[in-house]
Amino acid sequence: MTTLATVDNTAIISEFAGGNTSDVSMMIGIGLVKDSEAVFFQYLGEEQTPSALMMPSGRPLTRLANVTLAGVEIATNVGEFNSTKLNLYLQSSAGRTVMLTSGLTTIWSQCILNALMGLYNSYDLTTPFQLDSWKGNSKMKPCFGSIRIDGNKISDNELYEMLADARGDKDYAKVELLLTNAVTMLKKGLGVDEVVVEETPAVDPEAAELF
């Protein structure tokens, strides 16, 4: 899937926060600036600094309301550091699509993949949901995420426990494998062929300490 670079983000923020529609699309990075209160940052192209997504009130955008899962994938060898990323495609009720991207093994990705597996196991992948993201209070300012349906937090308890055990054992290869398997299952649930990770990603050490 492709995304646009520079757009007026006011309308799309309104749309994904539950407001009016807009004919735009964007790529959003998670927690790109640790010193910022913002969680979502719009990529504006290689030559420009990502822009924090803010509500008209001046507060950071933290909630994407009434969205559905349109796609999920793992991208390898991204950027100058050859990072491995989770790319999550969300569609608004009006049919607009944005791509959220974060390191595969970051805390945010672990939270969201755990929630999506709960959606996969207990609901239907076409069920609309609310995605919330926020920053933790530790020195590293990790980002967390959750998914709710009708106010109920969605989670896969089995995957949660397996990830917790793997982190506790400092088995980072298993953490990566569990997340990759989750993406594979989600892609199959969406009718997409199995995902293949070309090489083992560098695991974010924050994921071993916080969740």
Q: Is 119 in contact with 129 (CB distance < 8 Å)?
A: yes
CA angle 73/102/12 to nearest 5° reads 90
Task: Supply 34's token pair.
Answer: 């640790």
Residue 175 confidence (pLDDT): 95
Which residue, among 121, 143, 139, has the nearest Cα to 131 in the 3D structure? 143
Question: Model's pTM, two decimal places?
Answer: 0.80
Contacts 24+ apart (CB under 8 A), 155-162: 155/114, 155/115, 155/118, 156/114, 156/115, 156/117, 156/118, 156/120, 156/121, 159/113, 159/114, 159/117, 160/114
Q: What is the pLDDT along the chain (211 residues), one digit of tens a residue?
A: 333 333 455 554 444 444 433 333 789 999 999 889 999 999 887 788 999 999 999 999 999 999 999 999 999 988 777 889 999 999 998 888 999 999 999 999 999 999 999 999 999 999 999 999 999 887 778 999 999 999 999 999 999 999 999 999 999 999 999 999 999 999 999 997 644 444 433 333 333 333 2
Residue 209 confidence (pLDDT): 33
Task: Supply 106's token pair.
Answer: 């970051």
For residue 35, give Cα distances in angstroms to 31, 64, 111, 139. 9, 22, 21, 10
Q: For the chain, where are the alpha helices, taking DSSP H only?
A: 10-16, 107-122, 157-168, 172-189
- 10 by DSSP, 3-state: which? helix
